[in-house]
Structure 1
Amino acid sequence: MTADQLIELISSRTSASLKRMEAPGPSAEELKAIVEAAAAAPDHGRLHPFRILEIPSDARNALGDLFAQVIQETHEDPTEEALTSAREKAQRGPVLLVMVGCFHGNDETRIPQYEQMLSAGAAMQSMVLVAHALGYASRITSGESARAETFHKGLGLAKNEEFLCFISLGKVADAKPAKGRQEAQEILSTWVPT
């Protein structure tokens, strides 16, 4: 791959609509390559501050029940429609991954948590770029329910772990171009000493 091809790959990646995302998702071999790309992220101190949890298709209903449980706990009198909508969230995307932050505190390392979060973000970007290179669309999602203590426990996360996001992977027939991206001159400035 040339530098121009890499630039084109990065700039052509967009977030796909979950409603339009269809099977197939990445194969086991392709998923391995996608996850291995995460390991290439910068990782100050080799702390490995993230891991990836796959939600297999036969566990989607249980995940949906977990979403519904959070709605029942956090809303006084949820409607059946709200519970159904919560359960449906678990069915989106042919392949569903959870990015989990495994953050180390000051008692373990002098590397600040924001650097560990940056590492996880870089890992996520590497994953969606490799998925894009393999011909798959991606969508990153989160939400209030996924940050609830019940959800944390339901996923079996440890005390030092945090839900960061869902990564959905699949096919989209005609990907739409990205909107609202900044130009380089909007992002880059030059520091002038005072």
Structure 2
Amino acid sequence: MSDLLPRTAFGQALPSPKASDACIRRLALRRSAPAQDLAPPGPSAEQLEAILTLGARTPDHGKLFPWRLVVLSPERKADLVQKLEPLAADQADPTRALAVLAKFRNPPCTVLVISSPTPGHKVPVWEQQLSAGAVCMNLLHAADAFGFSANWITDWYAYDPRTTRLFGVREGEQVAGFIHVGTAANPSLERPRPAVADLASEAS
């Protein structure tokens, strides 16, 4: 485990949660940065290890770990972009499909989260897929905690069977998201947020 994180052991009693102004502020102001605008520096090897460790500390019914994490280096991404560019021509909007590859190419660090559920288990596949989504959200929070900007996106190359094979996605698996991490040149602007009163209600 990274020296940047507290060390814990199986069965160890963990401290009770305490109010944290820094954590509340982080959650209240969390905002994805445009992936195409993310630039170096990205996390160091030790920081990335810590971010992955925090990302994996997510709700997981049945302790199945129904997801995989694949770190894509800039060199590997450049190679993948070369293979993705010709396939953009087959998309519904080829011009846009080609343009959005900048979101994949530019960030200095990308983590591919792959949902890999176990069918037939007592834990429903849907719950296992939700766990993969929780990993994506944890990775965003972890990157933010280390002072980086991040974005969780998919786009067309997460769903085309020809492209998912390029990423090593196996049969029965799905791309849960690409988590792009780096440094944003400009602060992110606030976006519209839902009114909680419109979404939450008391059970009748």
Give the TM-score band, short-chain normalised: 0.7 to 0.9
| Match 1:141 to one of 153, 158, 161 | 153
Q: 2: CA distance between counterparts of 1:65 and 1:137?
A: 26
Q: 2: CA distance between counterparts of 1:75 and 1:134?
A: 37
Equivalent residues of 1:15, 1:138 under 8 A apart: yes
Q: 2: CA distance between counterparts of 1:32 and 1:155?
A: 21
Equivalent residues of 1:97, 1:167 under 8 A apart: yes
Q: CA deviation at 1:162?
A: 1.1
1:22 and 2:34 aligned:
no
Q: Deviations over 1:112-166 (max 9, x none)?
A: 1211121111111111111101110011121123211111211122212211211
Superposed CA RMSD: 2.3
**Residues 4 and 188 (structure 1), Cα distance of their counterparts in 2 relative to 1, 3 Å cut:** farther
Structure 2, unpaired ranges of 5+: 1-17
| Match 2:70 to one of 53, 57, 74 | 53
Q: 2:127 is aligned with what amino acid?
A: E
| More off after superposition, 175-184 vs 55-64 | 175-184
SS at the partner of 2:88?
helix
**Residues 159 and 8 (structure 1), Cα distance of their counterparts in 2 relative to 1, 3 Å cut:** same
| Higher normalized contact order (CA 8 Å, seq sep 6+, divided by chain length) | 1
| Match 1:63 to one of 66, 74, 80 | 80
Structure 2 match to 1:96 = 110
Q: 1: CA distance between counterparts of 2:66 and 2:146?
A: 26
Q: Which has more helix, going by share of residues?
A: 1
Q: Deviations over 1:64-90 (max 9, x none)?
A: 023224224x359x6xx7786465454
Equivalent residues of 1:63, 1:90 under 8 A apart: no
1:125 and 2:137 aligned:
yes
1:151 and 2:173 aligned:
no
Aligned residue pairs, count = 186
Structure 1, unpaired ranges of 5+: none
Q: Deviations over 1:36-92 (max 9, x none)?
A: 1122111001111111111111112221023224224x359x6xx778646545422
Q: 2: CA distance between counterparts of 1:75 and 1:157?
A: 20
| Match 2:177 to one of 165, 184, 190 | 165
Q: 2: CA distance between counterparts of 1:15 and 1:184?
A: 20
**Residues 103 and 21 (structure 1), Cα distance of their counterparts in 2 relative to 1, 3 Å cut:** same
User: Percent identity of the aligned residues?
Assistant: 25
SS at the partner of 2:152?
strand
Equivalent residues of 1:61, 1:87 under 8 A apart: no
